């Protein structure tokens, strides 16, 4: 009954088909998936997140501070300034790179954080476990407010009221500019870079990793509506809530679907599918009803056929999750933690366990 229960739950949601082209052709080969993938990218940018720039800028990076003996001599702590130029405009923001000394070419977490870079969070524990961390404070990129494209990267590429990029896209795109720096850095393993975030930054991390194939793994923690959680049949936050409280996170076109999720030409398993066949990890908290853990889990189940088409296992589980469950076998990982909306030690521990198991 376990797998059957998952199937029944998904059928109730009446999701749009991720493996069917706009002309109704069934997607049954990796080649057709490549075409469908581009359709999905277009749909999501047109109707939800807004259009992210593809060309028209140059980026420079400068190390502005370095501590070669951070955390009691165990790590190198480097602050790097990202400087982005267009023909007429400029913006910049810092990120912090922590490199453990006891590991040659460590894998990396690119982590979108709410906290200022002066805070330590769990950086010492993560680097003690053999991972480098590139951490960016999201409001250093652009303020979390509706500013009409007057600040940060949004000012470099102002959008319109319909499909102009929202702040989630701005934060996601800017995180990829950190990847530009990391991917050729000799001190780290450029093939094993994961992007991670929590809550609204879990939404941004998922969008970033979905749009940027260079990330080997994408981690979306308690990301809820507009993140990993399915909109159709969702409890808690919905499209109307998002458009009322945080309209500037998304493009203006999303407002068309406030109160009408069944009319969406996509659902969030479309966004998750863009990560395939790379590793995808979603995490939920059992009491986080605004995000709706069941809808986060079902999105992982709904994307599994894409992974299987591409020769990967997807989400491997025999039943709906119980509190404390962690499903780590497949290329789609998931855990359901006790407690409320939060990112803490238990979550990071499970992220690292999954990475070690799969070598990503």
Domains and CATH numbers, the chain: 1-358 (3.40.50.1820)
> Is residue 331 packed enough to be buried (19+ CB in 10 Å), middle (13-18) or exposed (0-12)?
buried
Return the ∠ at Cα 259 (arms to 253 and 263), rounded to 5°. 65
State the average pLDDT over residues 145-172. Answer: 97
- In the numeric block, the tokens 């308690």 are attached to 222
Q: How confident is the model at residue 205 (pLDDT cuts 50, 70, 90)?
A: very high
Bridge partners for 335 per DSSP: 283, 326
> CB neighbours of 168 closer than 8 A, spacing ≥ 6?
49, 200, 203, 204, 207, 226, 249, 250
As given in the structure block, the two tokens for residue 60 are 């420079």
Q: How confident is the model at residue 121 (pLDDT cuts 50, 70, 90)?
A: confident
Is 283 within 8 Å of 350 (Cβ atoms)?
yes
d(CA 79, CA 207): 25
pLDDT at residue 177, as a whole number: 98
Return the ∠ at Cα 234 (arms to 230 and 240), rounded to 5°. 95
Of 8-12, 117-121, 195-199, 351-355, the one with minimum mean pLDDT is: 117-121
- Bridge-based pairing state of the strands 193-198 and 332-337: unpaired
pLDDT at residue 234, as a whole number: 98
pLDDT at residue 2, as a whole number: 82
DSSP state of 6: H
pLDDT at residue 273, as a whole number: 98
Q: How confident is the model at residue 218 (pLDDT cuts 50, 70, 90)?
A: very high
The predicted-structure confidence for 41-80, as pLDDT tens digits, reads as follows 999 999 999 999 999 999 999 999 999 999 999 999 999 9
State the average pLDDT over residues 219-232. Answer: 98
Bridge partners for 83 per DSSP: 60, 92
The predicted-structure confidence for 285-323, as pLDDT tens digits, reads as follows 999 999 999 999 999 999 999 999 999 999 999 999 999
d(CA 325, CA 303): 19
d(CA 34, CA 312): 16
Residue 182, pLDDT > 60, answer: yes
d(CA 270, CA 359): 26
State the average pLDDT over residues 159-188. Answer: 97
Q: How many CA atoms lie within 13 A of 246 on its CB side?
A: 18
The predicted-structure confidence for 189-200, as pLDDT tens digits, reads as follows 999 999 999 999
Q: How many CA atoms lie within 13 A of 47 on its CB side?
A: 19
pLDDT at residue 1, as a whole number: 57
As given in the structure block, the two tokens for residue 220 are 């979306």
To the nearest 10°, report the CA torsion of 267, 270, 275, 278: 100
Q: Provide the mean pLDDT of the chain.
A: 97
State the average pLDDT over residues 267-273. Answer: 98
Q: What percent of the chain has pLDDT over 70?
A: 100
As given in the structure block, the two tokens for residue 319 are 């039943």
């Amino acid at each position: 009954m376990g797998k059957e229960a998952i199937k029944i739950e998904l059928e109730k949601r009446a999701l749009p088909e991720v493996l069917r082209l706009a002309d109704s052709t069934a997607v049954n080969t990796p080649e057709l998936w490549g075409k469908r993938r581009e359709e999905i990218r277009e749909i999501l940018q047109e109707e939800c997140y807004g259009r992210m720039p593809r060309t028209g800028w140059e980026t420079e990076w400068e190390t502005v501070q370095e501590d070669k003996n951070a955390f009691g001599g165990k790590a190198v702590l480097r602050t790097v300034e990202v400087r982005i130029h267009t023909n007429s405009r400029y913006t910049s923001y810092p990120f912090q790179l922590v490199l453990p000394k006891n590991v040659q070419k460590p894998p990396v977490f690119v982590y979108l954080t709410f906290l200022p870079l002066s805070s330590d969070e769990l950086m010492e524990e993560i680097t003690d476990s053999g991972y480098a961390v590139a951490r960016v404070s999201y409001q250093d990129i652009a303020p979390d407010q509706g500013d009409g494209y007057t600040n940060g990267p949004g000012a470099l590429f102002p959008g319109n009221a319909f499909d102009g990029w929202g702040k989630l896209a701005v934060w996601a795109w800017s995180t990829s500019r950190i990847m530009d720096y990391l991917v050729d850095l000799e001190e780290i393993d450029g093939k094993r870079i994961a992007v991670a975030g929590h809550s609204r930054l879990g939404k941004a991390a998922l969008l970033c990793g979905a749009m940027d194939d260079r990330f080997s793994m994408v981690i979306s923690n308690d990301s809820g509506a507009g993140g990993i959680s399915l909109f159709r049949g969702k409890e808690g936050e919905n499209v109307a809530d998002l458009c009322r409280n945080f309209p500037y996170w998304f493009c203006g076109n999303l407002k068309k679907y406030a109160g009408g999720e069944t009319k969406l030409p996509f659902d969030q398993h479309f966004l998750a599918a863009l990560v395939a066949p790379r590793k995808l990890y979603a995490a939920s908290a059992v009491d986080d009803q605004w995000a709706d853990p069941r809808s986060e889990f079902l999105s992982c189940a709904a994307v599994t056929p894409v992974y299987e088409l591409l020769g990967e296992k997807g989400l491997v589980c025999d039943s709906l999750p119980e509190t404390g469950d962690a499903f780590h076998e497949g290329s789609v990982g998931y855990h359901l933690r006790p407690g409320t909306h939060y990112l803490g030690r238990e979550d990071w521990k499970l992220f690292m366990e999954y990475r070690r198991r799969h070598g990503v």
